[in-house]
Chains A and B, each alone.
Chain A
Amino acid sequence: QVQLVQSGGEVKKPGDSLKVSCKTSGYTFIDYYIHWVRHAPGQGLECIGWVFPKNGDTDWTQKFQGRVTMTRDTSISTVYMELTSLTSDDTAVYYCARENWYYDHWGQGTPVTVSS
């Protein structure tokens, strides 16, 4: 069955960088886009960007321009999202999700707290 398993929760300080992994299984890794979405406390769901594992293409929401990098390692069917220059506004649960036009499978979420 399709599974997306994310790395564990993190506590960061303002200015730090964050790298979250999303290990996939149960399907052909290179055939599906993987998107990143976050859910901040008391807020709605926010799209961050995506990576296409077949060729490494990426795109991101303008808000994250210059701060986000998404990569993949095809040898272990894993994608990564790195977010730099963290502030308290980046405190959220970060999710990866497989795109099948819509998001049909999600990771369990990675809680991230940014606090001094």
Chain B
Amino acid sequence: DIVLTQSPESLAVSLGERATINCKSTQSLLNSSQKKHSLAWFQQKPGQPPKVLIYWASFRASGVPDRFSGSGSGTDFTLTISSLQVEDVAVYYCQQYNRSRTFGQGTRVEIK
């Protein structure tokens, strides 16, 4: 099974500052037929279902503010929030869909 490890487990960032979350996979997530990496990022707020932010590692989902961006390749991926807003306080998960489906353990983002 593919295991995803997120870091850090939590972080506190000042409003307007950058937040960076990492996701490391035990196997490459390159989908050779699609020529893209099978990694998505989700945001989950209390009492709500997860919401997709990024798919194929770097494609922003419809309606997602452009302060959210995804990058990475192979086994190492990053979600960046370029300028943290109050409404970004949430838990963020990476998920691979290259072989079956697994989630990272989550990263809690708070305001400093």
Contact = CB atoms under 8 A, between A and B. Distances in A.
Interface of A: 35, 37, 39, 44-47, 61, 95, 97, 99, 101-104, 106-109
Contacts of A106: 49-51
A102 B49 contact: no
Given A47-B101, A47-B102, A101-B97, A95 B49 contact: yes
A45 B103 contact: yes
Of B42, B93, B100, B101, most A-chain CB atoms within 10 Å: B101
7 contacts: A44-B105, A45-B93, A47-B100, A102-B40, A102-B95, A103-B42, A103-B52
B103 to A, nearest CB: 4
Interface residues of B, number: 22
Interface SS of chain A: strand
B69 interface: no
Contact of A109 (B49, B93, B100, B101): B49
Contacts of A107: 49
Contact of A45 (B50, B56, B61): B50
B97 A102 contact: yes
Contact of A103 (B34, B56, B95, B105): B95
A102 B103 contact: no
Nearest to A46: B103
Nearest to A6: B49
Contacts of A109: 49
B55 A35 contact: no
B38 interface: yes
Contacts of B55: 101-102, 104
B101 A35 contact: yes
B21 to A, nearest CB: 14
A41 to B, nearest CB: 11
A35 B103 CA distance: 13
Contacts of A35: 101
Contacts of B101: 35, 47
A101 B57 CA distance: 12
A96 B67 CA distance: 28
